[in-house]
Structure 1
Amino acid sequence: MLRTQNLRIRELTPIISPYSLKQVFPLSEAIALRVTEARTTVVDILNGRDRRLIAVVGPCSIHDPKAALDYAARLAALAKEIEQQIFIVMRVYFEKPRTTIGWKGLINDPDLNKSHQISKGLGVARSLMLTINGLGLPVAGEMLDPITPHYLADLITWGAIGARTTESQTHREMVSGLSFPVGFKNGTDGNLQIAIDAMKTANHPHTFLGINNEGQTSIVHTLGNQDVHVVLRGGNDTPNYSPDDIRRTEEMLAKAGVPKAIMVDCSHANSYKDHTKQEAVLDSIVEQIVAGNDSIRGIMLESFLKAGNQSLTEPDKLEYGLSITDKCVDWDNTERMLREAAQRLANR
Structure 2
Amino acid sequence: MSFKSVSGKINIEEVRSLSKLTGEALAKKEARDRELEAIIKGEDDRLLLVIGPCSSDNEEAVLEYAKRLAKLQEEVKDRVFMVMRVYTAKPRTNGDGYKGLMHQPDTDAAPSLINGIKAVRNLHYRVISETGMTTADEMLYPENWPLVEDLVSYVAIGARSVEDQQHRFVASGFDVPTGMKNPTSGNLNIMFNGIYAAQNKQSFLFNNEEVETSGNPLAHAILRGATNEYGKNVPNYYYDDVLDAIALYEKHGLKNPMIVVDTNHDNSGKQYLEQIRIVRQTLINRDWNEKIKRYVRGFMIESYLEDGRQDQPQVFGKSITDPCLGWENTEVLVREIHETLGK
SS at match of 1:148: helix
Residue in structure 2 matching 1:109, options 104, 109, 134: 104
Separation of aligned partners in 2, 1:251 and 1:240? 14
Aligned residue in 2 for 1:329: 325
Aligned residue in 1 for 2:220: 229
Aligned residue in 2 for 1:299: 299
Matched AA of 2:261:
V
Separation of aligned partners in 1, 2:68 and 2:180? 28
Question: Quick check: 1:218 aligned with 2:209?
Answer: yes
Separation of aligned partners in 1, 2:273 and 2:324? 8
Return the offset for 1:37. Answer: 2.2
Residues 27-49 of structure 1, C-alpha deviations (whole Å, 9 max, x = no match): 21333333322222222112221
Separation of aligned partners in 1, 2:242 and 2:31? 29
Question: Quick check: 1:132 aligned with 2:127?
Answer: yes
Question: Quick check: 1:187 aligned with 2:183?
Answer: yes
Residues 83-137 of structure 1, C-alpha deviations (whole Å, 9 max, x = no match): 1111011000000011002221101111224622212111111111112112111
Contact 1:141 1:156 in 2 (8 A): yes
Aligned residue in 2 for 1:67: 61
Question: Quick check: 1:281 aligned with 2:265?
Answer: no
- Counterparts of 1:1-348 in structure 2 under 5 Å? 6=1, 8-100=2-94, 101-113=96-108, 115-134=110-129, 135-211=131-207, 217-236=208-227, 237-258=233-254, 259-291=256-288, 292=290, 293-312=293-312, 318-347=314-343
Matched AA of 1:267:
N
Separation of aligned partners in 2, 1:230 and 1:144? 17
SS at match of 1:307: coil
Matched AA of 2:89:
E
Name the TM-score, length of structure 2 as normaliser.
0.93
Residues 275-297 of structure 1, C-alpha deviations (whole Å, 9 max, x = no match): 01110111112222333421111
Contact 2:29 2:132 in 1 (8 A): no
Aligned residue in 2 for 1:3: none
Contact 1:60 1:323 in 2 (8 A): yes
List runs of 5+ in structure 2 lacking aligned partners.
228-232
Matched AA of 1:329:
L
Matched AA of 1:242:
Y
Separation of aligned partners in 2, 1:113 and 1:13? 21
Matched AA of 1:194:
I
Further displaced range: 111-120 or 136-145? 111-120
Separation of aligned partners in 2, 1:114 and 1:238? 37
SS at match of 1:335: helix
Matched AA of 1:300:
M
Contact 1:39 1:181 in 2 (8 A): no
Contact 1:59 1:303 in 2 (8 A): yes
Residues 195-217 of structure 1, C-alpha deviations (whole Å, 9 max, x = no match): 10001111122222333xxxxx3
Separation of aligned partners in 2, 1:30 and 1:148? 26
Between the aligned residues of both structures, percent identity stands at 35
Separation of aligned partners in 2, 1:222 and 1:36? 22
Contact 1:181 1:228 in 2 (8 A): yes
Residues 254-276 of structure 1, C-alpha deviations (whole Å, 9 max, x = no match): 01101431100000111111001
Kindly report the root-mean-square deviation, in angstroms, between the aligned alpha carbons of the 2 structures. Answer: 1.4
Number of aligned residues: 332
Return the offset for 1:15. Answer: 4.3
Aligned residue in 1 for 2:230: none
Contact 1:210 1:218 in 2 (8 A): yes
Residues 197-247 of structure 1, C-alpha deviations (whole Å, 9 max, x = no match): 001111122222333xxxxx3333211111110000010111111111111
Name the TM-score, length of structure 1 as normaliser.
0.92
